[in-house]
Amino acid sequence: MKSEPNAWSWDNQVKEGTSMWDGVRNYQARNNLKKMKKNDLCFFYHSVTERNIVGILKVVKEYYPDPTDKTERFVVVDVRATKKLRNPVSLDQIKENSKLKDIALVKQSRLSVMPLKKTEWDIIIKMSN
């Protein structure tokens, strides 16, 4: 899950505790939100200025209508910060890893909510340690 740190940062998420992940206005990202299940883990990625995965979120409530969307087409999930990564993992590091060359963060960089395979998740976790 991606956010510009000047709009919503990891520190904002930690301070808020549980919050809804709102403002998604892309149909593919919306569909990814709809696939999320309670207790799924997600990476929190600081986009634009930092380009780092900085923490792990947990889905605490599955999708429901986004109250900020007047068109009623988009959804939110509720998430909670669970862990700050020991070391942020940069987009450059991800691009340098041949096993991650096909992830959406590299192939569809503008997509704000994207899936990862378990093997990709595990690689990124290992890179953060």
64-113: pLDDT as tens digits:
999 999 999 999 999 999 999 999 999 999 999 999 999 999 999 889 99
Q: What is the chain's mean pLDDT, rounded?
A: 97
Neighbouring CB atoms inside 10 A of 98's CB total 7
User: What's the predicted TM-score (pTM) here?
Assistant: 0.95
**Is domain 2-128 classified as CATH 3.40.1280.10?**
no
**Cα–chain-centroid distance for residue 27?**
16
CA distances from 28 to 59, 68, 102, 129 (A): 18, 18, 17, 31
- Collapsing DSSP to helix, strand or coil, 114 comes out as coil
pLDDT score for 90: 98
- For residues 22, 77, 66 and 46, what is the CA-based torsion angle, rounded to 10 degrees? 10
Q: What percent of the chain has pLDDT over 70?
A: 100
CA distance 49 to 26: 21
